[in-house]
Structure 1
Amino acid sequence: MSESGPGKSSDHPTLLVRDREGHDLLCFLEHLIPIEGQDYALLSPVDTPVSLFRLNNDAEPVPITEVASSEPILSVADVVLQEHDLVLVRSAITLTVSGELEEPDQDELDELEEDDDVDEDAETFELLVSFMVDAEEYGLYIPLDPFLVLVRMVDGQAVLLSDDELDRVQPLIEAELEEREWPD
């Protein structure tokens, strides 16, 4: 077992991101990228991000993208996670789970990567817990792809981007990161 999050050491710099509702998300600083005279940062959450899905028998799970912090579904999820010594955190941007999680099975991950039927653009998730609320089944899933948060740095603070700014700078940041990884 390992600490929740991507397994970073405590000497990695961290930044706090706050959304409009006042929720916080503590993140590790992964990359600092200057674009057009402005500093942007790629961050990864300290705690493990999770996604909520409605489970429908044999059909594909349906993601639930909007859920209020006081939603009864989250109260039940809290109780189920406590049975595993985990805590559901209503963080900025995403729900997270804090506590010790088991590492995903590397053999299963390798099989998923080798599977020709898997859409390369599709996100891959691993079920953490499932539970029932009002005769509906739900699940909290851990994304197996890295969960990164793009922010603008203002006076040492991480500021979430508007949708327009994200659309404008994301391709520039991706190009910069690609250049950093594969210089000519």
Structure 2
Amino acid sequence: MSSSPFSQDQPPSSPEIKVLVDEKARSLYCYVEQSFKSKGVQYYLLLPIDSPISIILWEEDKDEEQAILIEDEADIERLLPEAEASLAEEDLILKPTSFTLTVSGELPEPEDDDILTLEIETEGGLETEEFQLLATFSYDNYEYGIYTPLVPLLFFAKVNSEGSLDLLSLEELKTIQPILEEWMFN
């Protein structure tokens, strides 16, 4: 019998919750989906408790609408009051959490008309992602949509020397990828 390079923790009887904190001391509460230990380091696969959202600008370009994902933090800060008011009309509460904006409340069932498919550029090339429209608003003569991903947004984190959690960098993810693949398929 071969020895495994990691050990899996026993699943808890009730959901375990961990908190990711960013450099601005904002928090993101997450359920622990999985955890494992490798070479003395504790790793977690985390799922936000509240629903992650993205703000998308709809821009007219030569008689075509173009969807632009708003990623600049200053732009997001400027749009938050309008986004918050728009979501409140849908009985959703906007939360400026760490690493992603989130909303709490009951999301509507996705309908075909409310699904947006985007090709998002990543280090590995283009990836297709689907989003559900939650609300719309106007700001400075531009139209925006607030969307939540249909595929859950997951975070990989590790326990640092102080006992708090750090998100894994892309380099760290690549380093532990073989261990993750073996662990996930066992």
On whether the aligned pair clears a TM of 0.5, the verdict is yes
In the alignment of these two chains, the number of paired residues is 159
Deviation of residue 163 (structure 1)?
Answer: 4.2
Separation (CA, whole Å) in 2 of partners of 1:173 and 1:144: 27
Query: Aligned in 2, Cα 1:69/1:134: closer, same or farther, shift over 3 Å?
Result: closer
Match of 1:12 among 10, 15, 37: 15
Residues 87 and 134 in structure 2, CA contact (< 8 A), matched pair in contact too = no
Separation (CA, whole Å) in 1 of partners of 2:154 and 2:76: 26
- Computing the radius of gyration from Cα coordinates, the structure with the larger value is 2
Partner of 1:146: 152
Describe the SS at the equivalent of 1:74: helix
Separation (CA, whole Å) in 1 of partners of 2:143 and 2:136: 7
- Structure 1 unaligned segments of length 5 or more: list them: 1-9, 113-119
Partner of 1:122: 128
Separation (CA, whole Å) in 2 of partners of 1:144 and 1:173: 27
Partner of 2:175: 168
Structure 2 counterpart of 1:137, one-letter code: E
Of stretches 50-59 and 149-158 in structure 1, the one that deviates more from structure 2 is 149-158
Question: After the TM superposition, which segments of 4 or more aligned residues of structure 1 sit over 4 Å from their partners?
Answer: none
Deviation of residue 99 (structure 1)?
Answer: 1.4
Residues 33 and 46 in structure 2, CA contact (< 8 A), matched pair in contact too = yes
- Identity percentage of aligned residues: 35
Deviation of residue 70 (structure 1)?
Answer: 7.3
Superposition RMSD in Å: 2.6
Deviation of residue 149 (structure 1)?
Answer: 0.6
Partner of 2:8: none
Partner of 1:158: 165
- Structure 2 unaligned segments of length 5 or more: list them: 1-12, 117-125
Match of 1:93 among 72, 95, 99: 99
Greater relative contact order (Cα 8 A, min sep 6): structure 1 or 2? 1
